Amino acid sequence: QVQLAESGGGSVQAGGSLRLSCVHSEFTSVSNCVVWFRQPPGKEREGVAGIYTYTDTTYYADSVQGRFTISRDKYKDTVYLHMNSLKPEDTANYYCAARALSECGGDWDVPRIYWNWGQGTQVTVSS
């Protein structure tokens, strides 16, 4: 199983921006549903944004709609999460997950349906 590799986390002040990257060598050759999840301390993992790489159809949680944008660079096998207007409540460990040869359906934000995960990258937003 090919590993996912996330990067781009860090510490910012409220209102700032960050861009997370998720690299997977099969993002271009195989259609994937790729989703960014986050897990705040002591809370459950939640889906933030997803993209189906065959059509570039995107999905967003209500909590990030209008602030976060998921996109992909097909030449770099990379999916990005552009995070703007960050809030302290966005503080969490962010994970990239992928499901090959599968569209993102109504259950795109359910963690248990993904079998390929990255190691996570920490995002901390201070007020």
Euclidean distance between CA atoms 122 and 20, whole angstroms: 10
Euclidean distance between CA atoms 109 and 16, whole angstroms: 25
Q: Write phi, then psi, for 114 (nearest 5 degrees).
A: -105, 135
Span 18-63, pLDDT tens digits: 999 999 877 777 888 999 999 999 999 999 999 999 999 999 999 9
pLDDT bracket for residue 112 (50, 70, 90): very high
Structure tokens at 76: 């770099």
Mean predicted confidence (pLDDT) in 83-108: 94
Q: What is residue 97's predicted lDDT score, i.e. its pLDDT?
A: 95
Question: Average pLDDT over the chain, rounded to whole?
Answer: 93
pLDDT bracket for residue 1 (50, 70, 90): low
- The secondary structure element, H or E, covering residue 32 is strand 32-39
**pLDDT surpassing 80 at residue 93:** yes
